[in-house]
Each structure stands twice: as structure tokens, then as C-alpha cells.
Amino acid sequence: MRLVLLLFFITAQAQDTIYLSGFDPFEAPENSQEASRFLEQATFGQVPQEVADLSDSSFKLWIKNQQELPASLHRRDLELIAINGGTVRELIRRELWFKKSITSPDQLRQRMAFALSQIFVVSDQNLIFGSTQVLLAEYYDILLKNAFGNYRDLLEDVTRSQAMGLYLSHQRNRKRELVDPVTDTYIEPDENYAREIMQLFSIGLLERNQDYSLMDGNASQPGVQPIPTYDQNIITNLSRVMTGLSSQCTGGTINYLGVDMFRDCQPHSGDVCEGANCNFIVSNFLFNPPRILDPLGLLHPDVYSPMVCYPRFHDTGRETDGSLFPNRPASPPYNDEPYQDKRIIGFWPGIGDGALPPSDMNCNDLNNLPNPTAAQQQLQQQCLDYCDDEISQALDALFYHPNVGPMMARQLIQRFITSNPSPQYIEDIAGVFNDNGNGVRGDLGAVIERILLHPEARLSDQGDDFGKLKEPIIKLTQYFRAMETVSPDPQQMKWRNNMRLFKEFYGQIPLGANSVFNFYTPDYQQPGELSGADLYSPEFQILDDITSVETHNDSLRVICSGYGTVRDGVSESNCRDNNFTFIAPTDRAYIPPAIMNSIPTDFEEMVEALNTRLMHGKMSGTFTPATGMKGILKTELEAAFEGAPHALKVLHLIHLIYNSPEFSVQR
């Protein structure tokens, strides 16, 4: 099947560079069409009343108000569902995501968290999350809380998240140790997180200029000679830094939301750990908090609280007996790792590249102390501080790397605005990441504001290479919001029936990517015209023969929900003939009859009303003469709908618009 959507990405044209020097003329929408288009980019879908409100306001005021709204978080609501008699399972967490994304007032925050979830990927496709949905909800809350915060804080929270620790296997990651003297077998640090935090979460594989173009490692050679950002030895050393993290142990019985939950943090019978001593109890590091006295399926808070360091298992640059590892040679190869220091990427202001030094003391003699003295507690705290400081310094080094600005800029622009931002667009946003105007680096609130208000985002008359294929899940939420659909559930938890098949139909699901590389990669190029034009098209990676057909079919079921042929007292969602009626469904969202009745009955007015709701008035063509999309709808459908019920006409038009190339591409 030829993908008509390709037409929207080929025939690249020159960008209109007016105002690209930095002057921002886009203070307020000139009309409701501009307001609607802005909300399409910034939210999970425009709602008529919100379009009207923005039309009388300004873009900056809207962003300011959105950033000041409290975060609509997920974990607490998921726990309350369990307390009220529900079951905490994967499908419930997904339904909760739809509720928040469709109904929450903090739309920009919700949209930003979804974008971040596709950069800092954690996925429920990993079987380890089968019974820990509360943990995944807490991870999404981390993204929501940090959506307008500082990237450095986000990097810290993600690193210490137990969801990320489980997914990329740095929870209970251990330093190199001899475990079997007979066979000379060592346990080695897991390198998974060390690799991905650099490749995907921060600096990428190659050195970049601020406009994301590749740095040239040898100008005397033809073409660009790429410069790797790190090597295998850097990964090995960073994995040594990322050792010793595990669940904290708060100890004793905790009454949480009315449920008694117990965690044994005793170093010896009758003893309870206190302070830093809890981080020196070996059993606390090795075992997850047990779900005891937990009939509702909740999790002990220690399970989803940030991971803490256990110095016994953290690489301090010393052997188990306390002796220092060998000194690092002055130059590679480094064949005898581990050495005393840890060679990592270093970009501290005023310092430059560097290596992390070993601990000044041996921490292994401080484990499992029943009642440590004040002096021993002081030594324990020093060891704990060394571990925390080392992790912090490694994250600082990544944070200050020049690649991070253009890396984050490009991916966030792709998620919100266009798959192929110009180098100037990327450089402008990277500049805001580097300095928000007040000397602050990593201000994500300033970054997203500039992304949305940048001339390249606001100018509507762009070249054919501008825009992006809408993510399937966002197409669906845009429909729900534009048509003011309602959930039959008082808790607003039912939006689409059979959530279990959602990913099979749509190719994506919140926190459900197949790998840490997301549903699609930023550099994906659809074979054919797109790759031939050297254009990127990330979302096309999940548009295949299956998803293109299944989403088309499923959208009919969703749109016709409640409107259809009655069989056994139930209205089938088919909209197939004139003999149909409306029966409000109990298991899925539907368009209220009042909204349906508000759509004009005149065919051209009907099309224009849906054009306004769904396409911010940008449907192509005219009715007379019959040109573009409007002409096709009038020519092909007006006569075919003769005598059909008004609701049937509206539903079929919505379905055709929903699956049209023009609605499927955000411009």
C-alpha cells in the first residue's frame, strides 16, 4: 500500500528565516486557528473551550499558567484504586494514563512527561515489572515532577529510580570481587546503565556541534571524520561508579494508606539499624522489600523510593581487604582494570576532563555492626558520602558535556514540533538549555517554552519537509479531546475497551516500548522517498501493514462507540447502516449526543465544523470548485449520505478525517 503520508515530507523547501535571529513576534494567536494549532503541538489535543480561552490570551501566559499548575501524578491514584477494591495491574495503570492525559488540566506537563518517557525509556515489556505497576507509576511521576525542572535533577532521579535500576540492571550492581578462589572467578559490574545513560540519556555516540552537526575530527581529510564521545574503557569505568545502589531500608512496620507493611532492617536479632548504619547491612542491599501484610497488592514504600548506596558493594578503588588497586598508566592501553581511579567523561567548569580518585579509607570493616560507636558511625557516613559524591560527580560530568544541549533539543523538537528541525532551530534551543538567560543550565521549563514559541514552530507556512507524522496514541487522544468524548466510568478510567490489544493495534503504549531505544529512533528514515530526500521520520518506524490497517479498523470502533446496530440490547460500534441507534456504552468512551447534535446538518457546514474541531481549520481545498480534501468529501460523500441519519453522517466523516493524511500529519 502506497503511503500517501510520504507526500508531506518530500520536496524540501528553504526555511523562512525571518525572526530566526532571536526576536520573537509570536506573543498571542491572531485567531482561533493559530490557537488550535498551538494546542495541537503542546497538549494531548485541543478542546474547543481551551481554544477559545487561548484565543483571548497569549502563548507565554498559557505556558506560564501550565507550568504553575500542580502535577497530576499517577502512583497515589493507582494505590487508591487498590484501596477502594480494585486490582493494581498493567491494564489499570494504562487506563489511568489515558485518564490523566485526556482529562488533566496540566496538559503541557503531561505531554512533556510522555516525550521524556520516550527518551529515558523504562518499559513494562520487561517481565520483571509484571507485579510492580506501582513502581512504574512512580517512575512516570518522576518524569512529571521534573518536566519543567532541571535536567540535572532529572538525570539524578532517573539514575536512582528503582524502575530504571531494574530495567537497565544497575540495581544491586556490585563492584568487582573474587567470588570463587578455586576457579579464580570474579563478579564484574554490569555495564548496561553506564552505556545507556551516555548513549541515550545524555551525550550520544559522537561529538556534536551546537546545531547537532558532527564535529570534524580531521579537517585535512575529505568529508567529516566523526569523533566518538567515549570508548569501551569509559563504559567500564562508569559502570564501576554505578555500583552499590539498591533499595533503601526504612525498617519496621509502616502503616501506609491504611495498610501495614513490614521491612526487616535488623543487622542482628533484636537490633534495628539507624542512620548510615542501615547502608552497611548486607542483607538490606541483597533483597527487595518483601510484600508482607499487604493484601491489596500495594508495595512497601522502600520498593519505589530512590535507591541509596551501600558502600560494601560500591567500587572505592580498593580490593576487598582494603588495599588500593594499581595506579593507572599515564596513557592507554588500560589492560589491567580496575585501577585506583575511574576514568570517565569529565566536563566540569574550570576543570575539564578528569578521573575520580579512590576512597581515602577502607569501608569494608564497617559492615553488619550490631551497635556501632559514634566514631564508627562517623566513618560509615564518610564512606556513604564518598559513594554519593562519586555518583554525583559522574552525573555532573555528563550534565556539563556540550553534547547534551543539542541532543535534548533535537529530540524534544521532534516529539513536539517537527521531525526535521533546521540546524538553526536546534542551535537556538540548545542555547536555551545551556543558559536560560539567567545563567542556569538545563532548565527544561525554559527549553519547552522556547521550542513552542520559536519562529520555526509558529510560522504556519513552512516547507514540505516541516512537520511530523502523529504518534498513533496522540492521534487517539486528540480525537477524544476534540470531540469532547466522555468516559462512562465515574472515575473516568474507561476510554477504550480491550486495552490489552492496544499496542498490537497502535504500535505503542505508554511505558511499553520493546527496548530502551523506544518505539522508534530519532534517526529513522523511511525507505523510499523520505530516505532519498535524507529526511528523518521517526514515527514511520511503527507504521507498517499491520498497524496501518488495525488502527484504521479500531478507530471506527472507537468513533462509533455507542452508535450502531442493537443486538441483544447492546449497540455494536459499527455505524454500518441507517437503522442504528445510540445506547451509552459502559466500557468505553463515546461522543455525547449533545455534542453530536451541535454539529450542523448542512453538509458543507458539517465538514467545516469538524475541520475546526479536528484540524484547526486547515483542511485543504474548497467546496466550489471541488478541490483538495474538502472537494473530495463533497464530491464522493454528499450524495452517498443522502437520507442517512445525521449522527451517521457525522461519525463517518470523523472516521474519514481521522484516517486522512492531512489529519495524520502534524504541521
Q: Could you write out the DSSP letters of every residue in 150-164?
A: BHHHHHHHHHH-HHH
Among 637, 495, 640, 433, residue whose Cα is nearest residue 91: 495
Among 210, 191, 193, residue whose Cα is nearest residue 201: 193
Enumerate residue ranges in the chain where pLDDT < 70.
1-25, 85-87, 127, 129-131, 251-253, 256-257, 259, 261-264, 266-272, 288-298, 347-353, 567-572
Q: What are phi and psi of 92, to 5 degrees?
A: -65, -40
According to the model, what pLDDT value does residue 370 have? 80
CB 470 within 8 A of CB 660: no
Burial of 173 (0-12, 13-18, 19+ CB in 10 A): buried
The CA-atom distances, in angstroms, between 264 and each of 267, 269, 283, 287, 562 are: 9, 10, 9, 10, 52
What residues are paired with 313 via a beta bridge? Answer: none
Q: Which three cell numbers stand for residue 65?
A: 499558567
How far apart, in whole angstroms, are the C-alpha atoms of residue 394 and residue 80?
38
Cell numbers 533484636 correspond to what residue?
270
Q: Strand, helix or coil at 354?
A: strand
According to the model, what pLDDT value does residue 246 have? 95
- The neighbour count for residue 266, using CB atoms within 10 Å, is 17
The CA-atom distances, in angstroms, between 635 and each of 625, 641, 662 are: 10, 11, 18
According to the model, what pLDDT value does residue 305 have? 92
How far apart, in whole angstroms, are the C-alpha atoms of residue 493 and residue 617?
31
The CA-atom distances, in angstroms, between 150 and each of 119, 157, 324, 442, 491 are: 15, 11, 37, 5, 33
CB 623 within 8 A of CB 604: yes
How far apart, in whole angstroms, are the C-alpha atoms of residue 293 and residue 298?
10
Cell numbers 535533577 correspond to what residue?
153
Q: Which three cell numbers stand for residue 10?
A: 518530500
Please name the residue ranges forming H helices in 253-403.
282-286, 301-304, 374-399
Burial of 524 (0-12, 13-18, 19+ CB in 10 A): middle
CB 422 within 8 A of CB 15: yes
Q: Provide the whole-model pTM.
A: 0.92
According to the model, what pLDDT value does residue 252 have? 65
467: phi > 0 → left, psi -120 to 50 → alpha, else beta; which?
left
How far apart, in whole angstroms, are the C-alpha atoms of residue 402 and residue 427?
12
How far apart, in whole angstroms, are the C-alpha atoms of residue 26 and residue 59?
8
How far apart, in whole angstroms, are the C-alpha atoms of residue 422 and residue 428?
10
Burial of 573 (0-12, 13-18, 19+ CB in 10 A): buried
How far apart, in whole angstroms, are the C-alpha atoms of residue 17 and residue 14?
9
Among 293, 76, 283, residue whose Cα is nearest residue 172: 283
How far apart, in whole angstroms, are the C-alpha atoms of residue 405 and residue 412?
11
Residues in Cβ contact with 415 at an 8 Å cutoff, skipping those fewer than 6 apart: 114, 115, 118
Among 546, 543, 581, residue whose Cα is nearest residue 560: 581
Q: Strand, helix or coil at 470?
A: coil
Which amino acid, residue 132? T
Quick one: the chain helix, strand, coil %, rounded to 5?
Answer: 45, 10, 50
